[in-house]
Amino acid sequence: MPTVRIIPCLDVADGRVVKGVRFRDHRDVGDVVEFAARYRDSGADELVFYDITASADGRRLDVRWVGRIATVLDIPFSVAGGISSVDDAREVLGAGADKVSINSPALRRPRLIAELAGAFGRQCVVLGIDSFRGTDGRLRVKQFTGRPEATRDSGRETLDWAREAVALGAGEIVLNCMDRDGVREGYDLDQLRALAAAVDVPIVISGGAGKPEHFVDAFRAGASGALAASVFHDGRIAIPALKTALEMEGLEVRR
């Protein structure tokens, strides 16, 4: 099994880190640069930053905070939010990000994935999927999830959209399981396994981490990386202790 990745996720609004539950009721938890430096020092393998309202607001991401983050980080990080063109992505990558992550803009115009992969290589292109399990058990993709009042069903099913996006050039998928977000009851392993069987690119699972065992389960179910926010932000799980727990379960981690 390849080396696993521990990836703290930072939702950003107005240059501040915020955290919600099931994509609602966000609270301010601190300065984005301070959080980035803290995770760098604690041993995070990568970081993901989401400007959570850019797409819903129809605006471009403010790259000034991306540049501020880049000055303190020596680990890879990706940025998402309102990246709707090659020029937008070039600006974000030029500010110091290693990868761009696209979600709602790609749902609106799927060819964006191919354009980004052609311009920068598919290793730079991450597709974020906000997946919701309906009462009928079907997995559907939501968009504009940064604002609850703007969130809507995209009309696409999760696995079909993932296959299409990978065919267009997405080099990695972040699967955000909306039903599990912030509740700390464990990742949606059934959904993860289904996605891993459907595509041949690395998958980062998000939504539901509450204890080290949840990370172990995710990696054994096929995740390349495991993303979490509140358990790291609130200090419930320390990354060095988590990596030790993963090693004890026979998983290879970066030190």
Catalytic positions, please? 11, 130
Give residue 169's region: left, alpha or beta (phi > 0; psi -120 to 50): left
How far from chain centre, in Å, is Cα 61?
16
Residue (of 208, 235, 225) closest to 21 by Cα position: 208
Query: What CA–CA distances, in Å, run from 192 to 62, 126, 189, 220, 229?
Result: 32, 16, 5, 10, 18
In sequence order, what are the residues at sequence separation of 6 or more whose Cβ sits closer than 8 angstroms to the Cβ of residue 252?
1, 2, 3, 4
Query: How many CB atoms lie under 10 A from the CB of residue 64?
Result: 10
* Residue 193 near residue 222, CB atoms below 8 Å: yes
* Residue 189 near residue 199, CB atoms below 8 Å: no
The strand pairing partners of 228, in sequence order, are 8
In sequence order, what are the residues at sequence separation of 6 or more whose Cβ sits closer than 8 angstroms to the Cβ of residue 209?
184, 186, 187, 215, 218, 226, 228, 231, 237
